[in-house]
Amino acid sequence: MGVVCFVYIGELANGWLYVGVTKNLDRRSLEHLLGNSIRTTRIFGFKRLLYSEPHSTLSAARRREIQIKKWSRAKKLALASGDVAELHRLATRRQR
């Protein structure tokens, strides 16, 4: 089965990070940029897409979205930048 949807992390104009799920990443990014999307991005503005990952089912994407939303800002940024060592360090530090 191919890619059905994406989990993504976007940066808002105020520096906050937004985590969401979409079936069409290009369309959703444009909606956020134009302010034709959710209340959060209409109010705070959407600066840029930082990260996305494909999923073969909507339920898998939703589970991953919930997981990432629980993470700290630092951990989300490590994921977005592909810094596996920092991601691992942040994950093990939290478990202690």
pTM equals: 0.89
At 62-91, the pLDDT tens digits run 999 999 999 999 999 999 999 999 999 998
The pLDDT confidence band at residue 49, using thresholds 50, 70 and 90, is very high
- Is 78 contained in some domain? no
63-69-73 Cα angle (round to 5): 145
- Is 81 contained in some domain? no
- Is 95 contained in some domain? no
- Is 24 contained in some domain? yes
Number of domains the chain is built from: 1
- Is 60 contained in some domain? yes
**d(Cα 22, Cα 25) in Å, to the nearest integer?**
6
CATH number of the CATH domain containing 34: 3.40.1440.10
Which residue range is the domain that position 57 belongs to?
5-71
- Is 85 contained in some domain? no
